Each structure stands twice: as structure tokens, then as C-alpha cells.
Amino acid sequence: MTVELVEKVKTLFPTEDEIPQKYRPDIPIRQVEYLINGELRKWDGPMQEVLSPICIKTGSGLEQQVMGTYPLLTEKESIEALDAAKSAFNHGRGLWPTMSVEQRIGHVQKFTSMMKEKRTEIVNLIMWEIAKNLKSAEKEFDRTVRYIEDTIDALKDLDRISSRFHITEGVIGQIRRAPLGVVLCMGPYNYPLNETFTTLIPALIMGNTIILKPPKFGVLLHRPLLEAFRESFPEGVVNTLYGKGKVIISPLLNSGRIDVLAFIGTSKVADILKKQHPKPHRMRCVLGLEAKNPAIVLPDADLDLAVKECALGSLSYNGQRCTALKILYVHRNVIGEFLKRFAGKVNSLKPGMPWESGVKITPLPEPGKTKYLNDLVSDAQEKGAKVVNEGGGTANETFFFPAILYPANSDMRIYREEQFGPVVPVIPFDDIEVPIKYIIDSNYGQQVSIFGNDADVIAKLIDPLVNQVCRVNINSQCQRGPDTFPFTGRKDSAEGTLSVSDALRVFTIRTLVAAKDKDQNKSILREIVQERKSNFLSTDFIL
């Protein structure tokens, strides 16, 4: 088994001829365009080379596939993008923020239909830029389209609810949600399309204007959408920036002119970004950050189910999910059987290239990642853990086969550090206080998974745990979806809540028009409404 696995990992990468025609990228992609103020401008300055995590077997060894280049813009373009977004918002007086909800929905629908035409190209780029397998790359695209469609439906609902007048204590009022201004959207590399759009789309549809900076990996896959952005929205409403954060993002924040920071990444970077704003209280932050979600496997758990969900939870997309299970606590009564079945399950996960059928474990995009993971494993081994799945931790350039570490303990780096990759520490416990203490002491507070069958025991765990994390999963892995459910975290794991409907709220502020219940005022209100003189003060509703 080990020999087979090691051999498979050694011969994992294809020669150029072995890549199926259908999935060969049209490379090199020389992206020179960036979108500012409704213009696709061309860049002739320094460029960033994009390497795929996928290596190609060549006469001189393995080489990471060069995908192309994108612009390394400077502070000048950054401020131009900001000026464009500011002027499109124009202190709330711009065409976009004052447009009717129905018209804004129309623009987003136009964008969505243009986006759908780019599915094949974008899915292929997701595979090549971040090595997500084909099925998951397709899911990421389709989930994003569905998210946009659900957002439109949620906005229609919100608009219907807000289209009525309230009369209280002699005051007539109409309350709606109004946009905040310029939103800087920065998504993560593990969901470069989906998570970027889960902030961009709600912010946009609510009347804000956008500066989009794609994540550090997964930049080129946004290129097919530039034309759709340009054609679907008024000038300056969506602007895109590419380059180094210090060069292009710091000036935006230092200017004090960013109204909302929508960032999905690490708390370390989020703190650096927030501190750069001269008046941090003026900038609303919507942050999705790191986590270290534990699984707790109780002695009466259905082990087949627990093993299946723990494997999915810890190793889908190689463990590169903020919601991944990053540490497993297993009751000592079942630890032997659990480890045997879990190791078998992990070793059945097929390693390979993202387009190969049934492939689950793929190369990793971050430079130096296999060394980092290897260091975590060595550190744990020095402190008493073993790799319990045969061949676990076998690496080849950008590829790392999952390693299960047992028994892990609090002295090890893996106990605290968010591995964001295919290393799974397992800790035995006798007393349920052990995993609970881990959660209490942790810097993170996103989710937990409990595996068990006794309703009394599970109920006793739920009540305190809901005050430590923001989602308690029973007999299933941790996850963000369905996207209509709230997604958030405590401590260093998040700021603000995202879900289809929550996102509409988080990028807006409740604003109202109020008047004393007097004949003169009623007649003014009636005239405005009946003659459709205002987009805000209106009783129209969208069907």
C-alpha cells in the first residue's frame, strides 16, 4: 500500500501531452486590462507572473505551469479607482445609489446572464490557478450564480416588507435600508470566485460602489468577467485593482475614504488593514477569518458516519477551507476503531490532477506550503505523535498526501496553528471537559461538530457550546452552507454575519423618512407616492 501510494505521488504530475485537450488552458494569459470608471484600461508597466500549483513533467524535471501575467498597479491607479467609486456614489447622489431597487436588480440580472456564458472558461481557470477538482470548481461557479439569484429574491422580499408606512405616536415613517458608500471587496484564494461574490453582489445590489481586489491566487479567473462588469453597470460602480496589497490597498485605507471593508482572509491581515484607516470607527468591517473547528466523537457515535464526515470535513479541497475540521477529539473507548477506519478512508482518497475523475487530493497553491506542513508533522513527531496512515505526508513539489497525527497534544504547533492543509491531528479524551476546554481557550469561535447518538448528552453539550461558537453541527462536518443560513464566528474568526439575507443588511444602514401625522404632511407624502416622485419614498413593490 505505502509503496503504491508513494509511487502514485511520485508520478502524479502529467507531461504536457497527458493533459486532456478539453482542460488545456489557453495560455499564456497576458492580462493587461483593469477596470476603472467604466473603462477597460491597458497597463504597460510591471507584471506579476502567475504560476499554477500544477507541475508539468519536462525533460529537465517538474516545473510549475506558467499561466500568464497580471498588472502590478501602483498607488496612482489605486487612487484613480477610489476616485471613480467615490464619484459614482457621489455622496449618495450618484445614479447607482439613487436608482430604484428594480432597476438595480435588472443590472445585476444582465451581469449574471453574461457571467453564465463564461462558466467553462472560469471553471477551467479555477482548476488551473488553485487546483480545485473539477466537481468542486463547477460547484463553486454554480453556487455563486445561485447566490446571486437568491440575493435578488431576498432583496425583493426586503423591498416588499419596506414598502409600507408605519404610523406610531403621531409620526408617519417609511423605513428602508440605504447604502453606505465605497466597499473594498477582497476574497480568499480557496473560494476566489464564490467568497468574493458573497460580499460584492449584496454590497453592489444595495447601491454601494465597489473596488474589487482579487485574492493572491485566483486572479486570472476574474478576467472573463471584466467585460460583463463594464457592460452591466454604470461607470465607476465596479472597479478592479491588481497588485501588491502594500502598494495598492494601503493608500485606499490611509485615505480614510473607504466606507466598508469586506475581507475574507486572516485576522492578522484584517488587523493590519483596519489600523490603516485614520478613523476606524467610520469604516464598517465585514470579515470572515480563520478558524480551528474541532470535531468531538462521543463513545456512542456511529463510527462509519463520523469517519465519513471527519474525512470530508478535514480534507475537502485538501483542508483549505476556513470551515474545515482542523482537530479531532475522539473518545478513548472508540479511538482504536476510529483511527483504523479513518486511516483507511483517508488513504482511499484519490490523489491526482483536478480534472481526473474522482480525484480528491490535489496540489497546493501556496508557495512553501508542503514544507510548512512537513514542519508541522516533524514537530508533532518530535513531541510524541505518529503518522498513523501509511504513506501519510508523502510530498512531491506542490503536492502533499494527507497525514493523520496521533496522539496530538497541546505542546505541538498543530494544536494551535491553523494548518489550512491536509494534516489532521487526533486527540483522545476520557473527559468531555477536555475538548470543551480546548474550545474555551481557543482564539477561534466559528463552529464545532459533535458525533453521537444520546440526545441527553448532545443537548447538554449544545447549550454551552452555542455560546462559544456560532454553529454546532450534529453528526455532520462543519460548513458554511446552505447560504441562506447565517455564517459568522466569535473571537478571531469573524466580524459581522453573512448569509443571503444578512449580507443585504450588513452593507446598508436603516434610514427613514418621517413626518408628523398632519394633513399637510399627508398630502405631501400622498403626492410623492402617487405620482412616483421618489425611489425611496414609495409603496411600489416588486413581484
Looking up cell 398630502, which residue turns up? 523
User: Angle between the 194-205 and 134-162 helix axes, to the nearest 10 degrees?
Assistant: 20
Question: Which of 183, 184, 322, 427 is close enough to bind ligand G3H by CB under 6 A?
Answer: 322
Burial pattern 356-381, b for ≥16 Cβ within 10 A else e, equals beebbbbbbbbeebbebbeebbebbe
Q: What are phi and psi of 375, to 5 degrees?
A: -65, -40
Contacting range for ligand G3H; rule: CB under 6 A; set: 35-43, 83-91, 318-326, 437-445: 318-326
Under DSSP, the state recorded for 490 is E
* Binding piece for ligand G3H, criterion CB under 6 A, among 19-27, 65-73, 187-195, 296-304: 187-195
CB of 447 to ligand G3H, least distance (A): 9
On whether the CB atoms of residues 279 and 256 are closer than 8 A, the answer is: yes
The 3-state DSSP class for residue 202 equals helix
* Residue whose C-alpha cell is 438595480: 104
Residue 110: how many other CB atoms lie within 10 Å: 14
CB 276 within 8 A of CB 310: no
- Our CB check for ligand G3H shows the closer of 69 and 323 to be 323
Nearer to ligand G3H, 155 or 322 (CB): 322
Pairing state between β 284-288 and 494-495: antiparallel
Query: Which positions from 477 to 496 touch ligand G3H by CB under 6 A, shown as an x/- string?
Result: --xxx---------------
Enumerate residues 416-435 that contact ligand G3H by CB under 6 A.
Answer: none
Separation between Cα atoms, residue 310 and residue 254, nearest integer Å:
43
* 323-382 positions binding ligand G3H, by CB under 6 A: 323
At its nearest, how many Å lie between ligand G3H and the CB of residue 291?
Answer: 8
Rounded Cα distance between 49 and 291, Å, is 30
Over the Cα atoms of the chain, what is R_g? Answer: 25
Kindly state the number of chain residues that form the binding site for ligand G3H, as judged by CB under 6 A.
9
Beta carbon nearer to ligand G3H, 158 or 322: 322
Q: Where are the alpha helices (DSSP H) in 132-221?
A: 134-162, 194-205
Q: Which is nearer to ligand G3H, 253 or 472 (CB)?
A: 472
> Closest CB to ligand G3H among 78 and 293?
293
Task: Give the x/- contact pattern for ligand G3H in 143-172, rule: CB under 6 A.
Answer: ------------------------------
| Closer of 190 and 449 to ligand G3H (Cβ) | 190
Q: Position of cell 470543551?
A: 436
User: Based on CB atoms, which residue is closest to ligand G3H, 43 or 191?
Assistant: 191
Give 396 or 479: the residue with its C-beta nearer to ligand G3H: 479
Give the span between the Cα atoms of 329 and 29, in whole angstroms. Answer: 45
Q: What are phi and psi of 533, to 5 degrees?
A: -85, -15
Q: Which span (36-44, 78-86, 212-220, 474-482) binds ligand G3H, by CB under 6 A?
A: 474-482
**Residue 263 in the binding site for ligand G3H (CB under 6 A):** no
| Choices 22-30, 57-65, 159-167, 188-196; region in contact with ligand G3H by CB under 6 A | 188-196
Q: Which amino acid belongs to residue 80?
A: E
If the CB atoms of residues 347 and 447 are measured against ligand G3H, the closer one turns out to be: 447
Q: How far is the CB of 470 from ligand G3H (least distance, A)?
A: 12
Contact pick of 43, 70, 191, 342 for ligand G3H (by CB under 6 A): 191
**Pairing between β-strand 171-179 and β-strand 508-516 as defined by DSSP bridges:** antiparallel
Q: For the chain, report the end-to-end CA distance as a whole number of angstroms.
A: 60
Local structure of 404: helix, strand or coil: strand
Give the nearest distance from C-beta 202 to ligand G3H in angstroms.
15
Cβ proximity of 107 and 115 under 8 Å: no
- Rounded least distance, CB 244 to ligand G3H, Å: 23
Span of 17-25, 147-155, 189-197, 250-258 interacting with ligand G3H by CB under 6 A: 189-197
Residues 6+ apart with CB under 8 A from 76: none
Residue 321 makes contact with ligand G3H by CB under 6 A: yes
Query: According to the binding rule CB under 6 A, does residue 292 interact with ligand G3H?
Result: no
- Cα atoms found within 13 Å of the Cα of residue 224, Cβ hemisphere only: 18
When binding is defined by CB under 6 A, the residue of 31, 52, 190, 538 that contacts ligand G3H is 190
Place of cell 501588491: 244
Residue range at the interface with ligand G3H (CB under 6 A); choices 14-22, 114-122, 162-170, 476-484: 476-484
**Minimum CB–partner distance for residue 286 and ligand G3H (Å):** 13
Query: Can you give the binding site for ligand G3H, defined by CB under 6 A?
Result: 190-191, 195, 321-323, 479-481
